[in-house]
Structure 1
Amino acid sequence: MADAEQPNQDPAPAPPAEGTDGPKGPSKNELKKRAKEEEKARKAAEKAAKQAEADAQKAAADVDYATEFYGKLPLNQSQSRPKRAHARIADLNASMDGQSVLLRARVQTSRAQGSKMVFLNLRQRTDSVQALLSVAPEKVSKQMAKWAAGLSIESIVLVEGTVKKAPEAIKSATVQDAELHISQIHLVSGLETVLPFTVDDANRPEPPETEAEDVQIKRVLLDTRLNNRVVDLRTQTNQAVFKLQHGITHLFREYLDGLGFIEIHSPKLQGAATESGASVFEIGPVFRAENANTHRHMTEFIGLDLEMAFEEHYHEVMELLDGLFLHMFRSLKQKYANEIETHHNEKRLGRIVRAKYDTDYFIIDKFPMDLRPFYTMPDPDDPTLSNSYDFFMRGEEILSGAQRIHDAPCWLRRCSARLNNIRRASLFPRDPKRLEP
């Protein structure tokens, strides 16, 4: 019986012969390399994620949320008038703690403390206050702080802020018990050039002659001040000087008005000297062509002049002037105490009178005739003396007065005695040898 045919089957693979290798897997070096590449990719991904997060944070930080709170104001063309109340620095004090104020001032000094805080010294005339601007979320940005720190000295700014009681006395400002915390600051007018000196430097007084100069301290010399007078006038000392000058002219008018005097405005260009006996006064420019290069002479200055008739004796005029000066001195001390600064520029005569009579203000009467113009009335009892007087303050002459000769024959006698040359009596003498001036 024949056997049934079996189906075809693939033969089973033969086992590898002894001594031969099968298929190879990754080597140890390859495995290490792959591990390094995977670690590198992981670190790169982490770095990219961190960078993306940092970029997102930086982008968020670069968003200036305070753009409305600082910057340069547009040109004021009287576009609007909101009538907001503006504060005076002189009125700021610790009792206003927590109050919001708006003020316009000059930047006298600026000091950045890191990137998040700026100290400013703001000034109005002679008054100043310390102001602080510090970064705060949604209120003051870093960009705002950086911009404020870059403001030029003497720029004019419009500032809004809150008055805060100072933890200790602020010696660098006239307002010492309070400071201003800024919430908004805008530039009204900036500077396009560098100033020749700062007002802070100009505020420093010149050292006394007996004191050695400190080379580390910047001081501004007089010529530099006068050549740049517009800047120099902003110092606290000069502001006080001209405020006192205003007070003096006001008190001069006030006193003479009370006595019935009339203020006049006379022409300054005249062909000859003029005098008056009426009760009048004038405040106006005086011109001198003399070559007097001293600390107390100028070719033009503002004079306070008065003319009056007396009834019996020229001392009536002197007594009126004495009353005028006493009124001015007392009122200045009462109304302008903050502007008055003591100095020690006393002359020898002032020191003698001060030591003997304990006063800075005095009058000298009966000057020798040789020291007075020929038209001064001589003393009736001693012709070598004159009916004239000078008023002094701390050794400096502040007023000169006299009784003038009002009788023609007497005047001619004085001319002949004093002139000794007719040319002295001519305004601009002319003779064969003189054509000018």
Structure 2
Amino acid sequence: MNTSEVSSQQAATSPSLVVSADAQRVGESKAHKKLRRSSVRRHEEEARAQEKADTLAANLIVFKGTFGVTVLPQEQTPASHAQTFHEIDSLNMSLEGMSVIVRARVHTVTKKGKLAFMMLRDNQCSVQATAVTGDLQAPKELIDFIGQIPVESIVDVVGVVARVEVPINIATQRDVEVKISKVHIVSQASRALPFTAQDAKINDAINLSTRLDHRWMDLRSQAANAIFKIQSRVGQYFREFLTDLDFTEIHSPRIARHSTKVRDDILTESPQLYAQMAVQGDLKRVFEVGPVYRPYHSNTHRHLTEFVGLDMEMAINEHYYEVLDVAEALFGFMFVKLLKHTKELEAIRAQYTFEDLVFQVTPETIAELGIGIIDENVPSTDEYLACIHNRERRMIRIPYAKCIALVNSSQPHKLEEADYMSVSDERLLGRLVRQRYGVDWFVCDGLPATFRRCCTMPSAGDDRFSNSFGVYVRGTKVASGAQRLHHASQLISAAPPNNSALVHHIPFTESLQCGSWPHGGFRAGLERIVMQYLSLPNIRFASLSAKVEIDAPIFAHDPKSLRLPFY
């Protein structure tokens, strides 16, 4: 029997083999057809894309005066800057009928038949721009061109300012729009964006890590942009206030040699020693704004390993309250100034709901609770010994021991007078102060000595406490200050036995041995002030670049090498 006969016999006796072979041929046929259809579709799409590209290229030549890609800046002629560009926030009904040139980002694009709409955005301002076939001689090709512009591209739009019948509520310029006659792309955005400014306006749409990885895109949202304008103002007002009080701005090093000469050079945790030495150099009143580094495990909502410090140091005459008076007046000055930035505050409030900060106790509350007035020598009869410096500022100060008593009044587990307050205790304290005194800002005065650096002057009345203070905003500490030990012998005696860094810091100890002014100072964190003032959920929203982690290379071998305990 030959092979074909055997195969026929097997097929006859095994019907399943025939079915299997037929199924395989059918499967191969279906797969082949699917592949062929897919290939045809791909070729058709490529052909359509090529046709569109060819049409666009041809249109860019024919209509180059109406739309296209603008000339690169380095190719411009000197005469080109004769054009006058209008800022979006200047477009209003007083310009109705006027031809304007606007350079802005494309926030959204919509094309519907003979209509094309663009929402143009620049910082916190926006205006609608429209093109209609037949309107202002806008050709159909212009409508098609607008429809394919990627969002976030930067464009130059030429058009006429027109009044709208119905206010455009999604734009800041609600009463007018721009009737487009020309559009040129200055810089075309990729169509594959990490997210859009529109997405960034929604809190839950993008996680924090993605926002920080693409900070430049997040900053295009109105709220994020406004946060950093407010941050800038805080730094500006800090400088302005202290400069007006005859303080001198200094700039200290950020890299220091380790005092034991065993470890590598380190990043400084604080400019305090340099500021103290500047005071002993008879500058007497100094401040600094600059980066500082902390070996925090920065996985909390309020800590950063790198932040901007606002530091002040000054000679004092009689009492460390001289430092506190300056700090208190400074915060009051900043808060009053910040209230004027309503546009930025409202932009932030639209995304991150917060109430205006209350930092002054009312005259009625002062009288009702018997709050003391230091300038008038009026003692406090308040249960928690709250006092104010004067009736003009009306900013609350409460002794630390009484802060503990206030916290104890509202929780089952009791703290001792000099116990450490946890984060939850501080938050509770902030709520209780708000309920009792009606303020979000207060000073916790006379902090426990065991929680302060060894250079802090102990309290004369009770050595459990020190001549120091903490500044709280909405239940979170944003600043702290103290009177410093100004005798070298006192400082060395107060230092821990293993604090060789202090003993070997010859320039600093020598500055205290050559006649030293009694002095004190305070430090505030810029990002934390902004976070608490705006009630932001995480300090990283107030930090331009908050991606440095505790194990980053800047910390060399051991993160603890940054910490100089005598600061």
TM-score of the pair, normalised by structure 1: 0.75
Q: Distance in 2 between matches of 1:63 and 1:73?
A: 11
What is the match of residue 399 of structure 1?
479
The DSSP-based 3-state class of the residue aligned with 1:331 is: helix
Q: Report whether the alignment pairs 1:318 with 2:305.
A: no
Corresponding residue of 1:338: 343
1:203/1:236 contact within 8 Å kept: yes
Q: C-alpha displacement at 1:344, in angstroms? A: 4.5
Q: 1:67 to 1:138 in 2, by over 3 A?
A: farther
Distance in 2 of aligned mates of 1:294 and 1:404: 30
Q: Does 1:423 align with 2:491?
A: no
The answer for the alignment partner of 2:110 in structure 1 is 111
Residue 73 of structure 2 corresponds to 76
> Partner amino acid for 1:70?
F
**Once the two structures are superposed, what CA deviation does each residue of 1:166-225 show, in whole Å capped at 9, x if it has no partner?**
32232212222222221111100002451011110111134xxxxxxxxxxxx1111111
Are 1:236 and 2:222 an aligned pair? yes
Q: Does 1:301 align with 2:287?
A: no
The 8 Å contact of residues 136 and 181 in structure 2, kept in 1 or not, is answered as no
1:302-331 deviation line (CA, Å, top 9, x unaligned): 221111111111101111111111111111
Q: Which has the larger radius of gyration?
A: 1
Report the residue type matching 2:289 in the other structure. Answer: I
Whether 1:288 aligns to 2:288 is: no
Query: Is 1:152 aligned to residue 158 of structure 2?
Result: no
Instruction: Give the 3-state SS of the residue equivalent to 1:194 in structure 2.
Output: coil
In structure 2, C-alpha distance between the alignment counterparts of 1:316 and 1:355, rounded to whole Å: 29
SS of residue matched to 2:342:
coil
Match of 2:460 among 380, 394, 404: 380
1:13-412 → structure 2 map (5 Å cutoff):
66-77=63-74, 78-80=76-78, 81-114=80-113, 116-136=114-134, 139-192=137-190, 194-206=192-204, 219-271=205-257, 273-276=273-276, 277=279, 278-334=284-340, 336-340=341-345, 341-342=348-349, 343-344=353-354, 347-412=427-492
Moved more, 375-384 or 354-363: 354-363
SS in 1 for 2:344: coil
Counterpart position of 2:362: none
- Larger CA deviation: 75-84 vs 247-256: 75-84
Once the two structures are TM-superposed, the CA of residue 95 in structure 1 deviates from its matched residue by 3.3
Contact 1:157 1:185 survives alignment (8 Å): yes
CA distance in 2, matches of 1:106, 1:182: 15
Q: How many Å separate the matches in 1 of 2:103 and 2:500?
A: 59
Letter in 2 for 1:423: N
Q: Which has the higher contact order (CA 8 A, sep 6+)?
A: 2
Task: Assess, with a 3 A threshold, how the Cα gap between structure 1 residues 407 and 137 changes in structure 2: closer, same or farther.
Answer: closer
Cα-Cα RMSD: 2.5
Structure 1 residue ranges, 4+ long, deviating more than 6 angstroms after superposition: 62-65
Instruction: Give distance in 1, aligned partners of 2:433 and 2:167.
Output: 40
Give TM-score, length-normalised by structure 2: 0.58
Residue 513 of structure 2 is matched in structure 1 by: none
- In structure 2, relative to structure 1, the CA distance for the partners of 1:101 and 1:270 (3 Å cut) is same
SS in 2 for 1:423: coil
Q: Secondary structure at the match of 2:165?
A: coil
Contact kept, 8 Å, 1:160 with 1:182, in 2: the verdict is: yes
Per-residue Cα deviation, 1:238-292 (whole angstroms, up to 9, x for no partner) = 1101111121122111111111111121111123654423211111111222323
What is the alpha-carbon distance in structure 2 between the residues aligned to residue 188 and residue 292 of structure 1? Answer: 41
One-letter amino acid of the structure 1 residue matched with residue 71 of structure 2: P
Aligned with 1:164: secondary structure? strand
| Percent identical | 38
Q: Which is worse superposed, 280-289 or 142-151?
A: 280-289
Contact map agreement 1:108 1:123 (CA 8 A) in 2? yes
Q: Answer whether contact 2:109 2:116 (CA < 8 A) is retained.
A: yes
In 1, the alpha carbon distance for the partners of 2:325 and 2:470 equals 12
**Structure 1 contact 65–141 (Cα < 8 Å) conserved:** no
Structure 1 residue 66 displacement after superposition:
4.7
CA contact (8 A) 1:66 1:140 kept: no
| Closer/same/farther in 2, CA of residues 110 and 413 from structure 1, 3 Å limit | same
Distance of 2:237 and 2:199 partners within structure 1: 33
Task: Return the offset for 1:424.
Answer: 4.2
The residue identity in structure 2 corresponding to 1:68 is: G
Contact in 1 for aligned 2:60/2:68 (Cα 8 Å): no
Distance 1:63 1:245 in 2: 44
Q: Distance in 1 between matches of 2:116 and 2:197?
A: 20
2:474 is matched by which residue type in structure 1? R
Residue 8 of structure 1: aligned partner: none
Contact 1:67 1:144 in 2 (8 A): no
Q: How many pairs does the alignment contain?
A: 352
**1:392 CA displacement:** 1.7
Alpha-carbon contact 1:263-1:282 (below 8 Å) kept: yes
Moved more, 149-158 or 263-272: 263-272
Matched-pair contact (CA < 8 Å) for 1:107–1:154:
yes
Please give the alpha-carbon distance, in whole angstroms, between the structure 2 residues aligned to 1:138 and 1:118. 13
Structure 1, gaps ≥5 residues long: 1-61, 207-218, 430-434
Q: Name the aligned partner's letter for residue 308 of structure 2.
A: I
